[in-house]
Chain A
């Protein structure tokens, strides 16, 4: 092993006695080379380091210099190019962890520096030579959800030559838009729109549509997922490299709220869309109530699409039945609601209610205190239409659990927060788009579908994934299959399989494993160790840290 001391200009050498440090390092086991330079990170310094490695056939390198955060990669790259395994390179921070923080205690700082160098020697000296972990990525995708989002993602993936299996829970594809009458802002027929997209999917040779089916199980890791499907024809396995979740959302049916479920004349906006398709007769009196079941303690969120849908529906009614009387009771409109003025011009009345004093739906009339005019209003009605929020399907949360994705308080699939060290972790092979993620307009669904497909395709096109070899390893001779590691792991990486003799053995999926080490601690047999910081390394480092 070689120990390379850096003056760091004079940042380190002005505080620490590098001569003494070099002398104490020479007594350490395995150290055959010690040298010193003003800046090892300079091009000439790196060259000199590489030469020393080659000349003396060093198999481990400790650079006593500055921060691994800033210069770790530089040093590791140089050593690796000279033939040292990356894992056997340690950059000890004598600058930020010693010279700069103990400027007033030079003698003790040097003593501490000796400990730090010793820790680096133990770490590098007892480190395993590890290779980067790679895994192949299957060149195929699964899209779960056959609504506009899923269909668009499937087409986008197929256009890049990636075969797609599109899984849909209902007997036919099309999703929520099949139940919508007209689309905003074009007022075009929603069913025709969906049909056109669906035909594109059906004609696409690269897409296999599996209807009436759900995902019952997911195994494997990014690049190699094995899904078990529950289909009308029985269980079926699909292997793929990436998964897109586009399971969308349903519209809440708020039993008991504003007499919904009790009074047959109280319906939701999505149910109203179906009625509008059949046409309006006469001059109905309609009262519409916004934020029914949302923006309340149970669901504090705004569902983002209902205000636009409501206003669109009022315009649809007024154009077909100009004699109709429509009153919309809102709690204030979302800023992006469209066509509000057009609705007002068409004769729709907009009142405002306070959530503390919600409208009361009677058998024939709705009573409401209008906050704008500060008067109590009595509104006789033929129909009450509730704008209720989008809520995720229960199957979405189940699917998220199968792929180890978090869900938020309302069971929408949450995106895991961006990792700060891209090389250390395996990239996620699961992507979410559309209302499964958060209530989204059609435009947003389409954008997200394309974005998810692009990211998924990038993984497939790369052909393989790489990650740093920071994983937990099980000693097969010691493991007794108690499954404590399975319990402790939050990433579903260990799995215990029982042999014919009944004895279990844990294996840890190297791609799912994130290298946190909780399994190391959980194992009562001490059968697990981290490849990048074995228990031996750690105990030796602690020993070096407390050395007098």
Chain B
């Protein structure tokens, strides 16, 4: 393999109290972590819904880290308990979709140290990278079972097609989840690889 495997895309849901402070402190202290990490701030861990969590995987996230305040430290009383339940629920659905449980991690912590956050997310990305590696070794480019494609999803919402990518999709159905003919699929994939 000539090209290096892309860094695993990690989405971090961070509640706005302790976890986001840790993320901000990492910024202040200049603690480095992989740029393939994106932090989605939430007011409280309690406002995380299972749908929002799974939306990350339905996109092209390789790993999701849910960071909320430590046990007993939720500033709204029970938000962190609620997001722990969301994580459990998401894991059940991931199992049905064939996604490895290690791709989702829950971190309930009141640590605001920037370095601790950077280490945590770097370690998590490394673990998810290993899962990606073994998935690739089994011949799967993406996790099995999650057939909701970004482009199909955007078509279903009626947004304008991204420029330069209309060929090859005429006649293909736009509804979510419907299987497309394998030949059309690989044509699009080849085009995308060429265009990227």
Contacts and interface: CB of A to CB of B under 8 A. Distances in A.
A112 B38 contact: yes
A491 interface: yes
A69 B32 contact: no
B7 A108 contact: yes
B49 A520 contact: yes
B101 interface: no
B27 A516 contact: no
Interface string B27-71: 110111111111110111011111110011001110000000000
B104 interface: no
A101 B30 contact: yes
B11 interface: yes
A515 interface: yes
A67 interface: yes
Interface in A57-109: 67, 69, 93, 95-98, 100-105, 108-109
A533 B42 contact: yes
B179 interface: no
Interface string A511-522: 000111110111
A116 B35 CA distance: 11
Contacts of B118: 101
Interface residues of B, number: 48
A548 interface: yes
Interface residues of A, number: 48
Contacts, number: 145
A546 B39 contact: no
A437 interface: no
B24 A96 contact: yes
A515 B27 contact: no
Contacts of A130: none
A470 B51 contact: no
A545 interface: yes
B46 A516 contact: yes
Contact of A97 (B7, B23, B47): B23
B79 A516 contact: yes
Interface in B108-154: 118, 150
Question: Which of A98, A101, A102, A514 has the largest count of B CB atoms less than 10 A from its CB?
Answer: A101
A539 interface: yes
Interface string A113-124: 001100100000
A133 interface: no
Contacts of A232: none
Interface of B: 7, 9, 11, 17, 21, 23-24, 26-28, 30-40, 42-44, 46-52, 55-56, 59-61, 74-79, 82, 85-86, 118, 150, 159
30 contacts: A67-B27, A93-B27, A96-B23, A96-B26, A97-B39, A101-B30, A101-B33, A102-B32, A103-B32, A104-B32, A112-B36, A119-B38, A419-B75, A488-B78, A488-B82, A515-B76, A516-B76, A517-B43, A518-B78, A518-B82, A520-B47, A520-B49, A535-B52, A539-B51, A542-B52, A546-B56, A546-B59, A546-B60, A548-B60, A548-B150
